[in-house]
Structure 1
Amino acid sequence: MTRVGCQGCRDGAPLPFEFTMAFQPIVDVSENRIWGYEALVRGTEGQGAGWVLGQVDDTNRYKFDQACRVKAIELAASLFPDAETRLSINFMPNAVYEPAACIRATLDAARRTGFAHRQIMFEFTENERMLDVAHVQQIIAEYRKHGFVTALDDFGAGYAGLNLLASFQPDLIKLDMELIRGIATSPARQTIIAAVTMMARELGVTVLAEGIESEAELVALRATGIRLFQGYHFAKPAICALPSVRRITAEGLDPTFRQAV
């Protein structure tokens, strides 16, 4: 395997574009609290993720992946309210050549900002075809060695979700929003998600439902035993800030009240 990407991280040349991060809360409804925030890439003038990712190619993919991690940690360290709130960072498995070497920038950023390793969760997506499954297993093993949490994103939407779950058994899986959409009126979706949740529980894997847009979806998903949720029903992402979220009560979300975190 060529090491062009590693050289790209060492050459010191800046990325040909600027970016920042938006944060969207992940809510634990069983404990009525904010569990963490996902860092989502954005342009510095508010451009969406698609605009930023459109600037990424084979010549800067590795440097961009490293820069995203550092930017997310630096911003989270200045914004997060306590040392228990988790930061979820997306990463590109195919952009990591040497797991131990490619994690150094992350470790340096965490050390420099005083951000605890146990607060950091790395998400890899099922939608990115795994070129080398054994290599991804090495990445996850290296991350766990440092105390990071790992998650499989977009579960149920990509190439081989069940095979990936069998191979990696991450700490957490994030159900794809297309699997969730319409669950309130779909017995088939309710059955599938209940089965996935039960299977994950047997494997010791936590389930997170993302893309929640309505109270009906939340109620149907809570009935399957899921406790972690993310989506516009709670809050939209805020650039370089923690967004206001709907108040969490013992009965669920109060749809009429919003409070700043």
Structure 2
Amino acid sequence: MDCRYMKKVKSVMQWGKILPLSSIRYYPPQFTLRNMEGVKNAFEAGHEVAVIVFKLSNLHDLIEQADSQRHIKFLKNVKKLFQTVVEQTVNPKEFITLHDYYGEEITLVITVDHDRHSISNIDILLKKITDEVSETYFNQYSTAYPTFDVGYMFIDKYDYSIQNSIFRAHRLAIGMAEKRKQLEINEMLFAINNIITKRSITLLAQPIFDVATKEVRAWELLTRGPKGTALEAPLQLFSVARQTGRLYELEMIVLEKIFQQVKASRCRQDIFVNCTPITLGNIKFTSDLKKLLQKYKGISPKQITFEVTERDSIEGLKNFVFNINVLRLMGFRIAVDDTGAGYASLNTISELMPDIIKIDRSVIENIDKNSVKESMLKGLLLVAREAGSLVVAEGIENQEEASVLTRNNVDLAQGNFYARPAMFFDEIAT
């Protein structure tokens, strides 16, 4: 029998002490996912699926410090800690599987919702997992600090074969983790470089309505990559840009495209722009923004609101708070996005005192049937009024949800119930 197969059997047996055997997904060397129900269910629900690879970056150094028995024990303890940390960190509704593929590599597969996740959100989750595993291992065993290289990629839901798409996503994730110059990674680098060089992105616009008057008060602009490509969806586009060091350039191109369309359409309503804290905290951001204002004269900073997703951590970003203060002095407004559904809780609001608070869809969904959610809404409204912030409720899907906003005097709302994002901003904004 193939020795690699025997090693995998032993690996599954070892994991059986950590997980019930019914929950184990076994993969032969080609990374075949035999039970793909979790992936299929995610796709049917309209979500994406991310394949995340954690690769031990200091494995060889650790081997040199230990004999074979300690090496095996080390790997076993690390894998056991990974299972515990993942259980504590990943939402059970988003978890699909955790898999020990080769000795130095662990693969996590999770569901990702476009409406509930951001690129920084994913980065924070992965950092939290690796930091917790390393710290806990060192504290328990005091022998080593395991460190990890991490890469991730999304499964192409439109591939003719889901299994082929999973295999490709896994290889790409390994390449991202190892920064290998393999063909497929080069293809991704070429694709993102081509998008940035040609500025080939599309903007969608979704209106934001006054709840009381039903009038359009603002527009949120949404980014898409080249239509029909693997980077069309925003999560794929921005995740590849993030992992290849092109995120700042991409976001500045998006911002310039927005300025172009606002000027071309002569729109006078407010514009909401998503921007990662990584970009907002870039030392060049405010000076580059001033250049854009000079280039597109006539656009008032008071018209532009930068959305900072509440899930994104602002800790450790040296220039972030300084830049936010500069933006305010320039006249721009700041919104905290996804309030009520993030890692940063309400600390971001208390630190930034935003002009606008956007309440996450997770709070609004079925709020008409859930008194606890309505109480959460009332609490967030109190926080907003204490901070002097306007409130935007996101993701309104039906009349029943909208009626709850009306009776609670929510300021603004957006969602498919009011209007779906449209392709031609210059037409709908005039």
Query: TM class, shorter-chain normalised?
Result: 0.7 to 0.9
Matched, 1:200 2:200: no
Give the corresponding residue for 1:29: 211
C-alpha deviation, 1:34, in angstroms: 1.1
In the alignment, is residue 232 of structure 1 matched against residue 421 of structure 2? no
Specify the alignment match of 2:233 in structure 1. 48
Gaps of 5+ in 2: 1-191
Deviation at 1:167, TM superposition (A): 1.0
Highest Rg: 1 or 2? 2
The letter of the residue matching 2:423 is: I
Structure 1's unaligned 5+ residue stretches are 1-13, 245-259
For the Cα contact (< 8 Å) 2:281–2:317, is it kept in 1? Answer: no
1:102-146 deviation per Cα after TM superposition (whole angstroms, max 9, x unaligned): 123333333333211110000011222224266432221111010
Determine which of 67, 71, 74 is the counterpart of 2:260.
Answer: 74
CA separation in 2, counterparts of 1:185 and 1:115?
A: 43
Q: Does 1:110 align with 2:296?
A: no
1:191-236 residue CA offsets vs partner (Å, 9 max, x unmatched): 1101110221122011110111111111101212202001111111
Question: Partner of 1:153: helix, strand, or coil?
Answer: strand
1:218 to 367, 388, 402: 402
Whether contact under 8 Å (1:175, 1:209) holds in the other structure is yes
TM-score, with structure 2 as normaliser? 0.50
Structure number with the higher strand fraction is: 1
Taking structure 1 as reference, are residues 203 and 133 closer, same or farther at Cα in structure 2, changes over 3 Å only?
A: farther
> Residue deviations 1:149-207, cap 9 Å, x none?
10000011111221111111111110010111010111111111011102211220111
Residue in 2 aligned with 1:20?
202
Amino acid at match of 2:258: A
1:252 is aligned to none
Distance 1:15 1:72, change over 3 A: farther
The structure 1 segments of at least 4 consecutive aligned residues displaced by more than 3 Å after TM superposition are: 96-99
Question: How far apart, CA to CA, are the structure 2 residues paired with 1:98 and 1:22?
Answer: 25
Would you say 1:120 and 2:304 are equivalent positions?
yes
Structure with bigger RCO (C-alpha 8 Å, 6+ apart): 1
Contact 1:70 1:105 in 2 (8 A): no
Q: C-alpha distance in 1, partners of 2:426/2:221?
A: 10
Q: Report the residue type matching 1:28 in the other structure.
A: D
RMSD between aligned residues = 2.2
Give the number of aligned pairs.
230
Normalising by the residue count of structure 1, what TM-score does the alignment of the two structures yield? 0.80
Contact 1:74-1:109 within 8 A present in 2 as well: no
* 3-state SS of paired residue (1:22): strand
Structure 1 vs Structure 2: percent identity of aligned residues? Answer: 27
The one-letter code matched in structure 1 to 2:249 is: K
Relative distance call for 1:127 and 1:235 in structure 2 (3 A) is same
- Structure 1 or 2: larger helix share? 2
Pair 1:80–1:197, CA change in 2 (3 A): farther
Alpha-carbon displacement from aligned partner over 1:223-255 (angstroms, at most 9, x marks no partner): 1220200111111111242676xxxxxxxxxxx
